[in-house]
Amino acid sequence: MPNQQAFFNPETERTEIYTEKWLEETCSVKELTDLSVHHHYWEDADGELWGDFNDPMENVRRDFQAYRECQNFLTPTEIVHIRQQLQLSVRTFTADLGLDVSTVSQIENGERLQTKSQDNLFRWAQGDCFSSTQNSKK
């Protein structure tokens, strides 16, 4: 039996029963155009799919997570953990790395993707070695 729930839809201005739906979809994030991501929807009686009414950014976060995994980037939780292990505030951490406070705050909250150079800085802060985006040539 599929999961069903009543939601108030502000667009239709009605409360209706929706059926939970999961779809494997291909999406694009930055330069990656073929990410396969498991997206979550709620389907109305007419078959129209809606994002989660209580968490409209859910599928975007899933896309970001897939991108990070594909790029082997640190997760927001791992970045926060690095900063906490160093016992630094966001302000001090960003100043030490030469990054903007709002940028790092958005990355830590899963609202923004870090760049490769930012990811390298986070890894450097935890003591990891530099990671190049290019294959080494001999």
Q: Is residue 131 part of a domain?
A: no
Q: Give, as one character, the DSSP assignment of residue 119.
A: H
| Predicted TM-score of the model (pTM) | 0.78
Q: Is residue 135 part of a domain?
A: no
Q: Tokens standing for 77?
A: 């939780």
Residue 130's CB is within 10 A of a number of other CB atoms, namely 8
Q: Is residue 136 part of a domain?
A: no
- At 25 the pLDDT is 96
- At 5 the pLDDT is 95
Residue 81 belongs to domain spanning: 76-125
Same-domain pairing of 41 and 80: no
Same-domain pairing of 49 and 90: no
Q: Is residue 102 part of a domain?
A: yes
Q: Is residue 16 part of a domain?
A: yes
Sign of CA dihedral 28, 56, 69, 2: negative
- At 17 the pLDDT is 96
Half-sphere exposure of residue 91: CA atoms within 13 angstroms, side-chain side: 0
- At 129 the pLDDT is 62
The position carrying tokens 């899963």 is 110
- At 138 the pLDDT is 34
- At 127 the pLDDT is 85
Q: Is residue 62 part of a domain?
A: no
Q: Is residue 134 part of a domain?
A: no
Q: Could you give the number of structural domains in the chain?
A: 2
If the chain, 138 residues long, is cut into consecutive pieces of 10 residues, what is the mean pLDDT of each piece? 91 94 95 94 96 93 94 96 94 94 95 93 82 40
- At 2 the pLDDT is 84
